[in-house]
């Protein structure tokens, strides 16, 4: 299946955003570890969210989480720390190519019984649940903050608790901060020292608390992109459910898009996006995305569509996402005539170099929801619209994305 999108003459709409997938997954694990139940309201209704919820409820020995990377990391720790059950944790073909050795090694050092059933260092995993003895772990934080979050969330259940020391530059540190903040809301005492490089969690109960999940800033980023690219200078989009005091690191997108001509105004319902009058783009856009790697595709495609040279650093984690996002961005933007260059697996830039574009490019999405959503707004700058292959991939995080575009006047 593929969609050809054409843009509306005027972009003015109100959008009810999906709930934050990152918060939903974390509070689901914390709630499952609590001895009592409390209501969780507005959990993310997405493929990833449903995969995690199903796994937490299922009594089946084999748990297949598909392409849900966060669920794979969090459930590895969760199942390892839950006595009395043996699980075979597996996923999609791409999931079985995503490394998990650092997390498994750390859990084994804390007393976990985990074995690889196929390739060393990669899922599937056979996990025999037991109460972990805990102790001290030193971990390279430069690969995935989800490994760190997985360890911290199960730490209160360990016999000796956990002391976690970090080495290297932390990738996606805002997600680690989200985890710690949510643990504290569930009554867990998390001590920090060494400038946030060491975490201590003593054995303690996790308190069951009612929790309402806020809207997703990652989903909001695509609407920021649309307002930035809209030819109509009166473009205005209202996004419901967002707050200025969010736990989500991707809330940084508001300040970044102000540099691209989009104004954010918070309201009692969420926020409103408008074009800044008489705004002049910078000569070059630079940003270190190490704290917000999921925003890289949105920002890269926006800058290219605006003809704005850019350099984005801190992209090393994009290699192990749903696809190799560094390679995918270069391949797909080349279809539109943009020649990007990559450096050291962590930097992507465009200096204005162009090549002949394809006459009617079709964007490949690589089973990656963010590829589909980041490229869809190109319909606003192309007279013939834009064609997206396998548009169904958006169900991973934003199932209503295409419906919301239709409601905004996009034609399919």
C-alpha span between 242 and 15 (Å, rounded): 11
400 is in an annotated binding site: no
Say which of 294, 313, 368, 403 is annotated catalytic: 294
172 is in an annotated binding site: yes
47 is in an annotated binding site: no
C-alpha span between 207 and 191 (Å, rounded): 17
C-alpha span between 224 and 237 (Å, rounded): 8
146 is in an annotated binding site: yes
98 is in an annotated binding site: yes
In degrees to the nearest 10, what's the CA dihedral of 65, 69, 70, 76? 60
- Listed in order, strand segments (DSSP E) in 58-100 are 62-64, 86-90
197 is in an annotated binding site: no
221 is in an annotated binding site: no
231 is in an annotated binding site: no
- Listed in order, strand segments (DSSP E) in 231-288 are 236-240, 262-266, 270-275, 285-288
Helix (H, G, I), strand (E, B) or coil at 173: helix
Alpha helices in 266-358 (DSSP H): 296-305, 325-335
31 is in an annotated binding site: no
Residue 294 annotated among the catalytic residues of the structure: yes
In degrees to the nearest 10, what's the CA dihedral of 267, 271, 273, 274? 0
If you ran DSSP here, which 8-state letter would residue 267 be given? -
58 is in an annotated binding site: no
145 is in an annotated binding site: yes
Which residues are known binding-site members for phosphoenolpyruvate? 21, 69, 98, 146, 325, 370, 396
Residues labelled as active-site residues:
294
Which residues are known binding-site members? 21-22, 26, 69, 98, 144-146, 172, 294, 321, 325, 370, 396
Which residues are known binding-site members for 3-phosphoshikimate? 21-22, 26, 144-146, 172, 294, 321
């Amino acid at each position: 299946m593929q969609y050809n999108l054409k843009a509306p003459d005027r972009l003015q709409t109100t959008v009810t955003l999906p709930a934050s997938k990152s918060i939903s997954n974390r509070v689901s694990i914390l709630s499952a570890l609590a001895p009592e139940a409390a209501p969780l309201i507005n959990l993310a209704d997405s493929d990833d969210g449903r995969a995690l919820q199903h796994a937490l409820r299922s009594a089946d020995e084999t748990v297949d989480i598909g392409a849900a990377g966060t669920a794979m990391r969090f459930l590895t720790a969760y199942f390892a720390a839950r006595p009395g059950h043996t699980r075979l944790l597996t996923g999609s073909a791409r999931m079985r190519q995503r490394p998990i050795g650092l997390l498994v090694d750390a859990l084994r050092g804390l007393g976990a019984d985990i074995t690889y059933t196929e390739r060393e260092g990669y899922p599937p995993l056979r996990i025999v649940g037991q109460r972990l003895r805990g102790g001290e772990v030193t971990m390279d934080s430069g690969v995935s903050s989800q490994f760190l979050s997985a360890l911290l969330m199960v730490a209160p259940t360990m016999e000796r608790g956990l002391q976690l020391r970090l080495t290297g530059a932390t990738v996606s540190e805002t997600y680690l901060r989200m985890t710690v903040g949510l643990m504290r809301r569930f009554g867990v005492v998390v001590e920090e020292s060494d400038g946030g490089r060491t975490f201590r969690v003593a054995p303690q109960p996790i308190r069951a608390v009612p929790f309402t999940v806020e809207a997703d800033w990652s989903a909001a980023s695509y609407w920021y992109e649309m307002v930035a690219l809209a030819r109509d200078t009166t473009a205005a989009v209202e996004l419901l459910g967002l707050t200025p005091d969010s736990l989500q690191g991707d809330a940084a997108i508001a300040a970044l898009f102000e540099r691209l001509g989009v104004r954010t105004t918070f309201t009692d319902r969420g926020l409103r996006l408008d074009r800044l009058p008489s705004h002049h783009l910078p000569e070059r856009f630079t940003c270190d995305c190490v704290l917000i790697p999921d925003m890289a595709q949105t920002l890269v495609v926006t800058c290219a569509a605006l003809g704005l040279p850019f350099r984005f650093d801190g992209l090393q984690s994009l290699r192990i996402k749903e696809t190799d996002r560094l390679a995918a961005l270069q391949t797909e933007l080349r279809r539109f005539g943009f020649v990007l260059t990559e450096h050291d697996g962590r930097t992507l830039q465009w200096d204005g170099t162009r090549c002949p574009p394809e006459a009617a490019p079709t964007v490949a999405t690589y089973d990656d929801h963010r590829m589909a959503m980041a490229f869809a707004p190109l319909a606003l700058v192309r007279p013939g619209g834009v064609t997206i292959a396998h548009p169904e991939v958006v169900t991973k995080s934003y199932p209503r994305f295409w419906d919301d575009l239709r409601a905004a006047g996009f034609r399919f």
